[in-house]
Amino acid sequence: MSQTAATPAAPAKQASQYTRDKTREGDVRTSNIVAAKGVTDVVRTSLGPRGMDKMLVMDNGEVVITNDGATILQKLQLVELSKAQDIEAGDGTTSVVVLAGSLLDATQKLMGRGIHPTVISDAFKLCIDKSREVLVAMSTPVDLNNKEEMVKAAQTSLSSKVVSQYSEFLAPLSVDAVLRVLPNLDATNVDLRDIHIVKKLGGLMEDTELVDGLVFSRSASKTAGGPTRIKNAKIALIQFCLSPPKTDMDNNIVVSDIEQVDRLIREERTYLLNMCKAIKKSGANVLLVQKSILRDATTEMSLHFLAKMNIMVVQDIERNEVEFISKTLNCKPIANIDSMKPEKLGSAEVVEEVSTGDGKIIKITGIPGKGKTVTALVRASNKLILDETDRSLHDALCVVRSLVKDRRIISGGSAPEVELSLQLSKYSRELQGAESYCVRAFAEALDIIPTTLAENAGLHPIAIVTELRNRHAKGEHNAGINVREGIISDMREINVIQPLLTTWSALSLATETVRMILKIDDIVEVR
């Protein structure tokens, strides 16, 4: 009797275990989706020209005010998605997170209907393939000789920034900067590391300029009366220290005899004098000294000798500036005094110290055979605006770079997202079963962009999005939200355009992230 009663226990136990496993699998996906949607809510209100700014207060008391999605998420140390968009396109860092959150919300509802995550993932892949076709059909080619179109795209990027009122000034500046470092008009990429942004507090935003040379936000060393202006300069970039050598370990030398003290001072003086003579012999009359962490890069005695020899000294060159300086001056970094040779020096017509509203800067101009580099000297009246201008200029530069990588533009103002939503809805009717549901859900998720733009502009989102969809259904593919006037306008007519790469990158990265999250069904702790 006991054996008969025990027979159904095993299947019941297996069913219970299966139920627990499926519940755990669902809980893991749900927790991942909820966490990702929480991140989206943080940045959603920052989307668009009328988006709100965030004030971020660091542990050290530093305050950052920005509406740049990548900066917000970087400071909060949340996700890598926005960083990936920043690397690929430079702009659309808020849009990519908002899109990902909306797609995750759609997947949660689809899984609630019993559709398997793999089916959802495969359907989203179909959506991305179809979206590429739609976006390419909407786009128009742009010629790099057409500077006006490139400036319009940069202005669109700057329109949502804190410094948007200066977009007419900063946009042409960013286009000029990229075109100066472009190897040729057939190039398919540009290295933005060839554009060095130097921030200097003081002055007006209009004082921001492109310098065809080098700028250092520090003054020359004149403690010993050294020169502050050199013509026909021969420039040496040195990575060794002009100071007495030290032992590898922290040792103390005890000198008890006055003669030994005198000898020590004489030896130090001779050592430094010989180094300065070697520098003078090489023909160098301007020294760029890399910052040292082991010992003092210079001493008062070495600066005194150099001043007597009429050699200008610029100290505290950062390690990450060395490559840019070398490329600009066509010189080689010198790691040892024995390597001070004339062929390793760079040349310039003028190296001078220039006074600004808040301190002084060093300018190096008139460089013969200068490398394909340029320096942007950014000015602003306070630190918060200065930092935001730096970030905004970087985004504008990235937009121009996107046009170099993929020379097609599309309308902004959420026009691409609405057109994609309509086209994918039509595409879903051609499919059957669960795939049709998933594609339709993907299409509806794209409405988050126009909805958010309308909300952040203080407009009625339902009325605006409904009218926008009707306009697109009538064939007005460039219709978008004019947030400044609160109406639906043709984005091409009001010059709201953006690179195709920006929209495509945001859509593809957001979808890839959602598909990756769908593939995760368990969390295993490894100890």
Residue holding tokens 């999250």?
Answer: 517
| Phi, psi (rounded to 5 degrees) for 163 | -95, 30
Residue 521 corresponds to which tokens in the numbers above? 């069904």
Residue holding tokens 């062929």?
Answer: 343
Among 282, 265, 281, which residue's Cα sits nearest to residue 342?
Answer: 282
DSSP 52: P
Largest pairwise CA distance in the chain = 111
CA angle 43–46–51, rounded 5-degree value: 160
Query: What is d(CA 212, CA 220) in angstroms, rounded to the nearest whole number?
Result: 20
| Phi, psi (rounded to 5 degrees) for 198 | -110, 125
Whether residue 93 lies in the annotated active site: yes
Query: What is d(CA 324, CA 239) in angstroms, rounded to the nearest whole number?
Result: 15
Residue 77 corresponds to which tokens in the numbers above? 């140390």
Q: How many CA atoms lie within 13 A of 195 on its CB side?
A: 27
Q: Cα separations (Å) of 59 from 42, 359, 468, 518?
A: 19, 29, 44, 35
Residue 483 corresponds to which tokens in the numbers above? 């947030």
Digit-coded pLDDT (tens) for 2-37: 444 444 445 554 545 544 454 545 566 676 666 666
Query: What is d(CA 57, CA 477) in angstroms, rounded to the nearest whole number?
Result: 42
Residues 6+ apart with CB under 8 A from 298: 221, 241, 242, 243, 289, 313, 315
Please state at what angle helix 415-428 crosses helix 117-138, rounded to 10 degrees. Answer: 120
Among 171, 42, 40, 13, which residue's Cα sits nearest to residue 105?
Answer: 40
Residue type at 184 in one-letter notation: N
- 3-state DSSP assignment of residue 242: strand
| Phi, psi (rounded to 5 degrees) for 427 | -65, -35
Query: What is d(CA 309, CA 276) in angstroms, rounded to the nearest whole number?
Result: 8
Query: What is d(CA 377, CA 361) in angstroms, rounded to the nearest whole number?
Result: 10
Among 146, 110, 140, 134, which residue's Cα sits nearest to residue 33?
Answer: 110
Among 305, 323, 303, 301, which residue's Cα sits nearest to residue 313?
Answer: 303
What local confidence, expressed as pLDDT, does residue 45 receive?
A: 65
| Phi, psi (rounded to 5 degrees) for 139 | -80, 160
Query: What is d(CA 139, CA 62) in angstroms, rounded to the nearest whole number?
Result: 42
Digit-coded pLDDT (tens) for 484-527: 888 899 999 998 899 999 899 989 988 998 888 787 766 566 56
Catalytic residue among 395, 406, 447, 502: 395
What local confidence, expressed as pLDDT, does residue 195 receive?
A: 93
Among 185, 197, 189, which residue's Cα sits nearest to residue 88?
Answer: 189
Catalytic residue among 40, 45, 66, 68: 68
Residue 215 corresponds to which tokens in the numbers above? 């700028």
- 3-state DSSP assignment of residue 481: strand
* Strand bridging mode 408-411 / 140-141: antiparallel
DSSP 45: T
Cβ distance 234 to 286 under 8 Å? yes
Q: What is the DSSP string of 356-367?
A: ETTEEEEEEE--
pLDDT tens string for the chain (527 positions)?
444 444 444 555 454 554 445 454 556 667 666 666 666 666 666 676 666 666 767 666 676 777 666 666 665 444 566 566 666 666 767 788 888 889 988 998 898 888 988 899 999 999 999 999 999 999 999 988 888 989 999 998 888 788 888 889 999 999 999 999 998 888 888 888 999 999 988 888 888 999 999 999 888 887 777 888 999 999 999 998 888 877 666 667 777 778 877 887 888 888 889 999 999 999 999 999 998 877 788 888 888 999 999 999 999 899 899 999 999 999 999 998 888 899 999 999 999 998 887 788 999 999 998 888 999 999 988 888 888 899 889 889 999 999 999 999 999 889 999 999 999 999 999 988 899 999 999 999 999 999 988 988 888 989 999 999 999 999 999 999 998 888 899 999 998 899 999 899 989 988 998 888 787 766 566 56
Whether residue 94 lies in the annotated active site: yes
Catalytic residue among 40, 45, 71, 94: 94
CB atoms within 10 A of CB 459: 18
Cβ distance 44 to 33 under 8 Å? no
Among 335, 451, 397, 428, which residue's Cα sits nearest to residue 192?
Answer: 397
**Structure-derived torsion over alpha carbons of residues 435, 437, 441, 444, reported in degrees to the nearest 10:** 120
* Strand bridging mode 195-201 / 374-380: parallel
| Phi, psi (rounded to 5 degrees) for 277 | -65, -40
Catalytic residue among 45, 93, 328, 452: 93
* Residue 428 burial (C-beta neighbours within 10 Å; 0-12, 13-18, 19+): buried
